[in-house]
Amino acid sequence: MFTLAHLSDLHLGPLPIGSAHRNFALKRTIGVMNWRLNRHRVHSPDVALAIAADIVRSAPDHVALTGDIVNVAARAEFVAAARWLKAFGPSDWISFVPGNHDCYVRMAWEHGLAHLEPYMVGDMRVPLTEETPQIATPFPYVRLRRNVALIGVSTGIPQPLHRASGRIGKVQLESLSHLLSDLRERGYARVVMIHHPPLPGLASPRKALLDAPLLRGVLEAQGAELVLHGHNHEHMLNTLNSRFGTVHVLGVPSASLVEDAHRPLAAWNHYQIQRQAGKWQIDVAIRSYDPASRQIVPLTEFALSS
């Protein structure tokens, strides 16, 4: 049995002093105003720490973190995020993929996501990958852990004001198709990590994955055991029929949310993955923040099968 923790959308606070003025960008400045007016009240760094501590106590074999660790992509935010991740656990135990807030505005790699590079490096050679000025480490990447293959896909791209959409791109899509086929033939349970919801219709147009129809085609053709995402700050479970069985698509709430009338409180998912009678069996346990006790408590459990 392989155990996997999934969390997302930490939106770590507080924002560093000067985030709106240093290395000015209009979208970043508006994002800082939004944080000060609203988001600082609903995203708690203490709850993010409580979620992380609960995961550490559960001692999963690996951790998947599906993006939006920062808020407005201020340079000092990435320094703080790297420090937070280092305290959480080693880079070979945590796999990270960037989200739209991690690519909030155009900025050089060395000033931003380079600080998180150790959490985005695979241990399997991938022949076809893509790099950008924003993300100068190859995507997709693959980490092999016993009989599970974790595949990191990047959807983070700088977007105009009031847009939070993402894109995989032709290169990553083609590479992902080959990887899913190869890893299936080699007997791995394939876990795709992505920030944006991967299927059409799962997010509003301004927040959606722009090439979700193409990704759906890849998943239908090649299959996958799990696709893990964040972005919507919701508990989500969707399924897709592929040539090789059911693809289970799961999203999680923000791992720091403590107050929101329209979205669930902070939570994380715990997966137990094992092969039984020729099929992959996945037991899911959801653990959520309880404001009354200020503890992370069990919310629900269910089972999935390929």
Establish if 18 belongs to a structural domain: no
Establish if 264 belongs to a structural domain: yes
pLDDT at 233 over 70: yes
pLDDT at 19 over 90: no
Measured from the Cβ of residue 237, the count of other Cβ atoms closer than 10 Å reads 12
pLDDT at 1 over 70: yes
DSSP E strands in the chain: the ranges are 2-7, 62-65, 94-96, 141-145, 148-152, 189-193, 226-229, 236-242, 245-251, 267-276, 279-290, 295-305
pLDDT at 249 over 70: yes
Of all residues in the chain, what percent carry a pLDDT higher than 90?
Answer: 82
Mean pLDDT of 47-65: 98
Label residue 20 by pLDDT band (50, 70, 90): low
Please tell me the predicted confidence (pLDDT) of residue 256.
97
- CA dihedral sign of residues 60, 304, 232, 120: positive
Query: What's the domain count of the chain?
Result: 1
Q: What is the pLDDT of residues 79-136, one digit of tens each?
A: 999 999 999 999 999 999 999 999 988 989 999 999 999 999 999 999 999 999 889 9
- CA dihedral sign of residues 113, 117, 123, 125: positive
pLDDT at 22 over 90: no
Mean pLDDT of 237-250: 97
Label residue 31 by pLDDT band (50, 70, 90): confident
Global pTM reads 0.95
Q: What is the pLDDT of residues 161-196, one digit of tens each?
A: 888 999 999 999 999 999 999 999 999 999 999 999
| CA–CA separation, 220 and 183 (whole Å) | 15
| CA–CA separation, 238 and 91 (whole Å) | 29
Establish if 272 belongs to a structural domain: yes
| CA–CA separation, 172 and 154 (whole Å) | 8
pLDDT at 282 over 70: yes
Q: What is the pLDDT of residues 187-214, one digit of tens each?
A: 999 999 999 999 999 999 999 999 999 9
Establish if 235 belongs to a structural domain: yes
pLDDT at 230 over 70: yes
Please tell me the predicted confidence (pLDDT) of residue 167.
97
Establish if 19 belongs to a structural domain: no
Please tell me the predicted confidence (pLDDT) of residue 103.
94
Report the DSSP beta bridge partners of residue 212.
none
pLDDT at 21 over 80: no
- The more confidently predicted of residues 207 and 40 is 207
- Crossing angle (nearest 10°) for helices 75-88 and 45-58: 30
Establish if 292 belongs to a structural domain: yes
What is the pLDDT of the chain when averaged over all its residues?
94
Domain limits for position 70? 2-13+24-305
Report the CATH number at residue 295: 3.60.21.10
Establish if 278 belongs to a structural domain: yes
Please tell me the predicted confidence (pLDDT) of residue 302.
97
Strand-strand pairing, 141-145 and 245-251:
unpaired
